[in-house]
Copies of this chain bind each other. A is one copy, B any other.
Amino acid sequence: MNTTRSGRPALTRPDGTPLRVLVVDDDPDLAEVLSGALRYEGWQVRTAGDGASAVAAARELLPDAVVLDVMLPDTDGFAVLRSLHTVKADVCVLFLTARDAVEDRIKGITAGGDDYVTKPFSLEEVVARLRGLLRRAGMARQLDEGPRLTVGDLVMDEDAREVTRGGELIELSPTEFELLRFLMRNPRRVLSKAQILDRVWSYDFGGRAHVVELYISYLRKKVDAGREPLIHTVRGAGYVIKPVTP
């Protein structure tokens, strides 16, 4: 089976070909970061910088999903959405939008099951939302297990945003939740603080790696408190989450 840089099997559609995503943003840097992260996750990625070329690219690529900036130089996102749906009716769309534009043009978007993320976002957020869209659309075979992540007796339900350990409910803040999700999606793999910062914190975060240590300590208090620890420090390298008994 084809594998990706992340070590996970490539995401494939029911017919075995890789999942395709089109990234549309007029900021080339951001488009690059996004497509890098998605490629890493096993997507076949293509980018476009404006509405016209987005529709053209979609006609060629016939993507399963589109990551679409609402503010584009030529057209507005809603028009692009309509064109995309005429190109491929069952395409999933994830919108990127500025914080204060939310109420405006996003109206009606999520009604179709599409979703949106506000800038500045974290890559983990984008990747997770996209996964959610595809899973609900029944597109990717690998996602069939559903919205559940498990490490030992620690269980995360992404849809319900619920985390339990040994059946006991654990309350987490948004950042704690994202950090834990990132760890749990990469069990038994050492993640550096830089990696964590890049994925869990938003791309324009200027802070230092110290926050990662801080949030790891928060997580430990809630997740590992008084129990066999799942979260481990690897000095000089980063952190891992792994079950106690392999």
Contact = CB atoms under 8 A, between A and B. Distances in A.
Interface string A5-44: 1110000000000000000000011001101110110000
A205 B104 CA distance: 10
Interface stretch (A51-59, A185-193, A217-225): A185-193
Contacts of A110: 192, 194-195, 198-199
Interface centre among A2, A195, A208 (most CB of B within 10 A): A195
Contact of A159 (B81, B114, B190, B203): B190
B159 A188 contact: yes
Query: Interface size for chain A: under 10, 10 to 19, 20 to 34, or 35 or more residues?
Result: 35 or more
A234 interface: yes
B236 A108 contact: no
Given A5-B137, A102-B194, 4 more contacts: A36-B114, A103-B209, A107-B197, A111-B199
